[in-house]
Structure 1
């Protein structure tokens, strides 16, 4: 089983922060073992492993319009179940 249970992905449209600023905000506020941030102010993609996906999504809403949210349970996936 993974230390962090949820693979969380989201798109942020009209992001108020740069890629570097958003990465720093997330790393300063959330414990994780994986983070990918890419894009620009028009559209930013976040891919994050955490135990609190809802908190991350709520936090991202401060920086732009959130859509295409995907939350997958990695523990279930590792057991061959739907995530």
Structure 2
């Protein structure tokens, strides 16, 4: 059984984005693992395993335009089903 069910990925396009600050905010305010927050001040890619992907999407949208959003159910994938 997985601790965190949803593999959540998105891009955030904005201004003055700070990957370290974004990483720290997610770590401190959301439950999950396998966090990656990489990019530059205009574009950040986020990858995060969580049970509450909507919180990550809401946070990302507060920083800029979000796009290329992918939310996959890893529990279904683990059981041989489409995620």
The two structures, once aligned, show a CA RMSD in angstroms of: 1.0
TM-score by length of 1: 0.94
TM-score by length of 2: 0.94
State the 1:79 CA deviation.
Answer: 0.7
Match of 2:6 in 1: 6
Deviation above 4 Å: which 4+ runs of structure 1?
none
State the 1:33 CA deviation.
Answer: 1.7
State the 1:17 CA deviation.
Answer: 3.0
Runs of 5+ consecutive residues of structure 2 not aligned to the other structure: none
Runs of 5+ consecutive residues of structure 1 not aligned to the other structure: none
Matches within 5 A, 1:10-49: 10-49=10-49
